[in-house]
Amino acid sequence: MPMQLSTSPSLFYWQPKAWLHVAGEDAAGFLQGQFTNELRNATPGKAVYGLWLNLKGRVLGDSFVIPEALAGGRVSYWIGSYFSSAETIRARLESHIIADDVAIDDFTSEWSGVTVMGEGADGVVQAAISLVELGITFQGRRGVTPAVEWLFPNEAKVRVEAALATWSQLRRDDVESLRIKAGIPAVPTDVGMSDLPNEGALEVDAISYTKGCYLGQEVMARLKSMGQVRRRLHRVRSPVAELPALPAPLFIADRKVGELRSAVKVDAAGFVGLAMLSLLHVTAMSGLALSPNGEPVVHMDQP
Least confident window among 50-54, 94-98, 223-227, 284-288 = 223-227
Average pLDDT over residues 90-110: 97
Asked if the model's pLDDT at residue 99 lies above 80, the reply is yes
Domain ranges of the chain: 10-177, 230-303
Band of pLDDT at residue 282, cut at 50, 70 and 90: very high
Fold entry, domain 10-177: Gyrase A; domain 2 (3.30.1360)
Asked if the model's pLDDT at residue 303 lies above 70, the reply is no
Contact in structure between 264 and 218 (CB atoms under 8 Å): no
Asked if the model's pLDDT at residue 2 lies above 50, the reply is no
Q: What is the pLDDT of residues 3-41, one digit of tens each?
A: 444 468 999 999 999 999 999 999 999 999 999 999 988
Whole-model pTM: value is: 0.93
Rounded to 10 degrees, the C-alpha dihedral 297/261/202/266 comes to 60
CA torsion sign, 142 to 144 to 149 to 154? negative
What is the CB neighbour count within 10 angstroms for residue 112? 20
Contact in structure between 213 and 260 (CB atoms under 8 Å): no
Average pLDDT, the chain: 93
Q: Which pLDDT belongs to residue 239? A: 95
Q: What is the DSSP string of 42-62?
A: --TT--EEEEEE-TTS-EEEE
Band of pLDDT at residue 156, cut at 50, 70 and 90: very high
Q: What is the DSSP string of 159-202?
A: HHHHHTTTSEE--HHHHHHHHHHTTPPPTTTTS-TT--GGGGT-
Q: What is the pLDDT of residues 121-130, one digit of tens each?
A: 999 999 999 9
Average pLDDT over residues 248-275: 95
Average pLDDT over residues 106-135: 95
Asked if the model's pLDDT at residue 152 lies above 50, the reply is yes
- CA 157 to chain CA mean position, Å: 23
> What backbone phi and psi angles, to 5 degrees, belong to 37?
-115, 165
Which residues contact residue 179 at a Cβ distance below 8 angstroms, ignoring those fewer than 6 apart? 142, 143, 186
Q: Which of 114, 70, 43, 59 lies closest to 92 in space, CA to CA?
A: 59
Q: Which pLDDT belongs to residue 302? A: 73
The more confident residue out of 91 and 268 is 91
Query: Is the CATH number 2.40.30.160 carried by domain 230-303?
Result: yes
Cα atoms in the Cβ-side hemisphere of radius 13 Å centred on 46: 6
Distance, in Å, from the CA atom of 126 to the CA atom of 124, rounded to the nearest integer, reads 6
Q: Which pLDDT belongs to residue 52? A: 98
